[in-house]
Structure 1
Amino acid sequence: MASEDGVRKTDEDAAVSTIVNTAEEAKDFHEGVKASSRGFLSICKSLVAGGVAGGVSRTAVAPLERLKILLQVQNPHNVKYNGTVQGLKYIWRTEGFRGLYKGNGINCARIVPNSAVKFFSYEEASNNEVDAELNPLLRLGAGACAGIIAMSATYPMDMVRGRITVQTDKSQYRGIFHALKTVFTQEGPRALYKGWLPSVIGVVPYVGLNFAVYESLKDWLIKSGPYGLVGDSELSVTTKLACGAAAGTVGQTVAYPLDVIRRRMQMVGWKDAASVVTGDGKTKAPLEYTGMIDAFRKTVRHEGFGALYKGLVPNSVKVVPSIAIAFVTYELVKDILGVEMRISD
């Protein structure tokens, strides 16, 4: 009898142990699912924040963005836009208010996913498993990788956006999808990536320096506490705007010639592309480029070194608030959405 009781007790203990183990496994699984759901939701919120930041910042400076592109690619033998103020007035006079925002719709359609991927890619690239502090070089690398991924994913939209922005009448393209289809059928799929190489090269100093300078300035201000700032305190929106402005100024100045070359390569095959006077001194023929180096060489030869900085003034006026607004909007939207992950983390 005692033996039977012992066996029964052992069976009961085993059953209880099995039930407990099963319950613990179910609990662990449930917590894992909840953690995964929270992580996925955080990623979605981070992407939304990046997209909103890009859309808001670009819309705020859309007139200057369009003028910059027009200055970069206008025919040197038929100058319509001569400076920032004159250029904006000319657009207003000839095309009205809508002309100032021509191409902004497609730009937002491009920049929202671009900015979302860029900000999220940066956070993933800069995520350090041992929580060691990122130095400026690592930040530059993380920012550059994020920029290349985001730019490559949305490049065809940027290419046709440039074409739509440049056309000043109801001519060739009726919208983004019509432009994509027209370029694809008339010039081939490779045409959608014209100017991709200088864009990639330009991403390294531009996006990389944006993130590196912005984060490094924030860290320096928090740790050194100049101008009465208290260490380890949250920086104000005004201070973050100043950091973003400085980051944008450094990045765009270094990378600007590559942006000009990219835009000019995108215009090859376009009926309004810049022309050059041929050997007889009378006729004009559209410029053709065999590659990035050839585009640099022909631009400098026919228009001088200064042509590599055409549109720099409106771009400088544009980039400073654009980058600043993008960074601050990104962090504000993440605060509103309750995302724990931050760039500085």
Structure 2
Amino acid sequence: MSAEVERLKDEGTRLQVIISGAVAGLVSRFCIAPLDVVKIRLQLQPHSLSDPLSLNGIKGPVYKGAFSTFRAIVREEGVRALWKGNVPAELMYVCYGGIQFTTYRSVTQAQSLLPTRPPPSVESFISGAAAGAAATTATYPLDLLRTRFAAQGSDRIYQGLLGAVRDISRYEGPRGFFRGLSAAVGQIVPYMGLFFTGYEFLHQYIGGTTLPFGSGDATAGVFASIFAKTAVFPLDLVRKRLQVQGPTRTRYIHSNIPEYKGVIRGLAAIWQREGYRGWYRGLTVSLIKAAPASAVTMWTYERVLHALIDTNKNDETWEI
């Protein structure tokens, strides 16, 4: 393994890594929030645009592409609608970033203690998959709340974040906060594994000071994210559909979302009703979102971590 990869994985204390990951998640989320709302709206649209019969009886809007969806949301609900669900999403991204990078670092260091260390690509995959699974499970209720707020139209279902938590607890119980978790973990494990494997590989050649202004880190993040996101997108789509199941299912902007019984049955039902293209509805905007999100995340993480290390080398506060 090259010295550059060792430097990336082992530098910084645990507290510095937590702070850097949290800041990276916060900044990234703020930048891509509108694209996230557009993606969720497209993913929740359950009718096939190529089949006119599937549009019969639909009460909600019919979105046709990322840019027209963006315009429709602004026109019908106002600019603020592009940040629906941003509060739970910001909380999720801050927590997610810190947990993700801390777990990645810890698992990588643990693997270095094994009698036989795995190859670099295998090591990165294991660390990335473990980091994604841990962060996804810990922050999943916030992800579900983000989706439900983004799915609301002009008629509000939940009166604020605390009201949503209270209503879900009352009418759906604790399990209501984890609808679709199996799809999320099934998606994030290969996604993060593929993402970090791709990032580590690309970072060796174009990261650090290879490109000006630290753009190598951002470029590596972009290509790694596009590759990983495309591979697991159907699981991301069915996760969104499962997150809005329950007693409020017919009250969202798309009031005709079918009822799905689990991940596999959900994927089969989408294929049967909407065709293979139904599995990839919203992929374009998802990739558009993933590129700047990953670029901003990795660029911010590297810059914040290096800043903390440079300014606190002799401060024992950071040595934990």
TM-score category (smaller protein) = 0.7 to 0.9
For residue 272 of structure 1, the aligned residue among 219, 230, 251 is: 251
SS in structure 2 at match of 1:268: coil
Output the CA distance in 1 between the equivalents of 2:107 and 2:172.
Answer: 36
1:131-180 C-alpha deviation (Å, 9 max, x unpaired): 96851121011001000000100101111110011101242112222212
C-alpha displacement at 1:115, in angstroms?
Answer: 1.0
Equivalence map 1:125-204=2 (5 Å): 125-127=107-109, 128-129=112-113, 135-204=120-189
Q: SS at 1:293's partner residue?
A: helix
* Structure 1 position 326 matched with structure 2 position 297: yes
The match for 2:87 among 82, 105, 115 is 105
1:99 CA drift (Å): 1.1
Task: Give yes or no for the alignment of 1:247 onto 2:228.
Answer: no
5+ residue gaps, structure 2, are 1-11, 48-54, 314-320
User: Is contact 1:63–1:101 with CA below 8 Å preserved after alignment?
Assistant: yes
Q: Which letter maps to 1:174? A: Q
Whole-Å Cα distance in 2 between the matches of residues 214 and 306 of structure 1? 28
Conserved 8 A contact 2:206-2:217 = no
1:258 alignment counterpart: 235
Partner Cα distance (1:200, 1:300) in 2:
21
Aligned residue for 1:290, secondary structure, equals: coil
Q: What is the alpha-carbon distance in structure 1 between the residues aligned to residue 82 and residue 145 of structure 2?
A: 18
2:210–2:216 Cα contact (<8 Å) kept:
no
Give the Cα separation in 2 of the matches to 1:137 and 1:45: 26
- Counterparts of residues 1-345 of structure 1 (less than 5 Å): 42-76=13-47, 77=55, 78=58, 79-127=61-109, 128-129=112-113, 135-221=120-206, 236=212, 237-269=214-246, 270-272=249-251, 287-338=258-309
> In the alignment, what sits opposite 1:23?
none
The range that moved more, 332-341 or 65-74, is 332-341
Larger RCO, structure (CA 8 Å, separation 6 or more): 2
Give the Å deviation of 1:221: 4.4
Amino acid at match of 1:157: L
Amino acid corresponding to residue 263 of structure 1 in structure 2: K
Q: How many residues are paired up? A: 283
Are 2:46 and 2:258, in contact at CA under 8 Å, matched by a contact in 1?
no
Mapped contact 2:206–2:220 kept (Cα < 8 A) = no
1:75 positional shift: 4.2
How big is the shift at 1:112?
A: 0.5
Tell me how far 1:271 sits from its aligned partner. 2.5
3-state SS, counterpart of residue 61 of structure 1: helix
Q: Measured at CA, do residues 233 and 63 of structure 1 come closer, stay the same or move farther in structure 2, by a change above 3 Å?
A: closer
**Equivalent residues of 2:24, 2:296 under 8 A apart:** yes
After TM superposition, the runs of 4+ consecutive aligned structure 1 residues lying more than 3 A away are 129-134, 232-236, 272-276
Contact 2:46–2:274, Cα closer than 8 Å, also in 1: no
Measured in 1, the distance between the counterparts of 2:251 and 2:269 equals 18
Give the partner amino acid of 1:271: T
